[in-house]
Each structure stands twice: as structure tokens, then as C-alpha cells.
Amino acid sequence: MKKKGFTLIELLVVIAIIGILTTISVIALQASRARARDARRLADVKQIQNALALYAHDEGIYPASAPGGGSIASSSITYMAVIPVPPIPDDGCEGSALYTYAQRNSGASYTLQYCLGAATAGVPAGLNTATPSGIHASSTP
């Protein structure tokens, strides 16, 4: 009489294969999440740049302060109700994970520093600076 079923070796091989596939899936998911966080950081910066450009168009200068959870608004118009904060974790941007805004040249310009964990949409990894003229790959425009 022949018994039907799997041997212990067959079961162990199947469990090992499932474990390997699960590990590969988790690693791929973590990499996708990091890319998504960087894409969000870049999209946030571009939205902040748009709001700053609209503010400067109407007011003639860039605001004295902006990012940090506040808003970009004049006395009569709100250009950005809530300034976004970067997603966490910071993906290797120790000490520079926040968006850092500074008005320059008495309101004629600004710098907006942010950090990307990996190159995203042609913007290199690391500390980057957004100005009215675009995005620069270092802390100085």
C-alpha cells in the first residue's frame, strides 16, 4: 500500500523557496518606498516653489519665512495653506532632512534646501537647493 503525501525534504524545500521569495519581495518593497519618499520630497519642493513664485508675483518680494509646517500667504491671499514636511525616515539625509527656506537679497530671491536619498527625476542624491532659477545640486546656487 502506497501512502500519499509529501516527504519532509519536499516540505522543507517548498518552505525555503517561499522564504526566499518573501525576502526578495520585502527588499523590493523597501526600495520602492524610498523612491516614493524621494519623489514626494521633490514634488513638495516644486509645489513650494510655485507658491513662492505666486507670492512674489503679487507682493513684489519673496516672504521672509515660509517652510516648517506654516503657510505661504499674504494679507489677502493664501498661496499654500499648509507647507508640507518631508516624509520620514530621512533616507540618509542626516541633519538635513527638513526643508530649509531662507529669503535672500532683501526678498529678491530665496533658497530652499532639501535632501534626496537617491537620484530622482534627474536631481542628484544628497543636499540640493531650489532657487527662483531652478534646482541646484549643492547648498550653493
The predicted-structure confidence for 87-132, as pLDDT tens digits, reads as follows 887 777 665 667 888 999 988 999 998 888 888 888 888 888 999 9
If 0-12 CB within 10 Å is exposed, 13-18 middle and 19+ buried, where does residue 14 land? Answer: exposed
State the cell numbers at 6.
509529501
Strand 78-80 relative to strand 100-104: parallel, antiparallel, unpaired? unpaired
| Whether residue 22 has pLDDT greater than 50 | yes
Residues 84/101, Cβ–Cβ less than 8 Å: no
pLDDT value at residue 21: 95
81's CB contacts (< 8 A; 6+ apart) are 71, 73
